[in-house]
Amino acid sequence: MRRVHAEAEWMAPEEVIHQVRLHYLESLNWLHDSMFGSWATQWSDASTYLHGAFLKRHQQALLTSRDSKLPSIVGVLRCDHTLEARHFSQQGGDCLIVDHQVGRRMATYNRDSQERLHTQDLGDGAVVYRMHYDAKSRRWKLEQFVQELPVGWGSTRRRLREIGSLPPAFGRDS
């Protein structure tokens, strides 16, 4: 690990950054490809690609869909990705990945029949995820969705600042 700039950001070597990007894209592809697979396979394979809060959220969604009497509807996001792996922890086991998504389109399917029901253009955007390195499986895993960045993010170079907790409520939120 090495420190970058005066803001004391930790950065990993280029080969680690490449691995983070590769494993992030593999995780997204698995999420998309597994949607039409069996419930049991989705459940058992999830821990290969997901960790922590993201794994728990995925498992809860699987349980909810299994127990629901409603038709199973799934959405598949397709877009081009430009990825930045940033803000590594000092030990190197966690980082943020900023996914600049171009040409985002959400295709909605009936999971049972695999019929496409609708496609919606979402425009360009950027999202941030926390990634965690699992030493046992020797791979980076999606750990947590952090946020979607505001429209226009990236039109000028901005610094991503991580904060430990949200400020207290103020204004109309109090």
State the DSSP H helix or E strand holding residue 126, giving kind and residue range, or none if neither.
strand 115-134
Contact by Cβ (8 Å): 53, 143: yes
Report the pLDDT value the prediction gives residue 154, as an integer from 0 to 100. 62
Residue 45 pLDDT level (bands cut at 50, 70, 90): very high
Name all domains of the chain by residue range, CATH numbers in brackets. 2-153 (3.10.450)
State mean pLDDT over 64-89. 88
Report the pLDDT value the prediction gives residue 80, as an integer from 0 to 100. 95
Report the pLDDT value the prediction gives residue 35, as an integer from 0 to 100. 86
β-bridge mates for residue 125, sequence order: 101
Mean per-residue pLDDT of the chain: 86
Report the pLDDT value the prediction gives residue 97, as an integer from 0 to 100. 96
State mean pLDDT over 90-104. 93
Report the pLDDT value the prediction gives residue 59, as an integer from 0 to 100. 94
Report the pLDDT value the prediction gives residue 120, as an integer from 0 to 100. 95
- pLDDT per position as a tens digit, 15-24: 999 999 999 9
Report the pLDDT value the prediction gives residue 165, as an integer from 0 to 100. 66
Is the pLDDT at 40 greater than 60? The verdict is yes
Q: Give first-to-last CA distance, the chain, whole Å.
A: 41
Is the pLDDT at 153 greater than 80? The verdict is no
DSSP state of 149: P
Report the pLDDT value the prediction gives residue 67, as an integer from 0 to 100. 83
Report the pLDDT value the prediction gives residue 111, as an integer from 0 to 100. 84
Is the pLDDT at 6 greater than 70? The verdict is no
Q: Which DSSP string corresponds to 36-77?
A: TS-HHHHHHHHHHHB-HHHHHHHHHHHHHHHH--S--EEEEE
State mean pLDDT over 115-137. 95
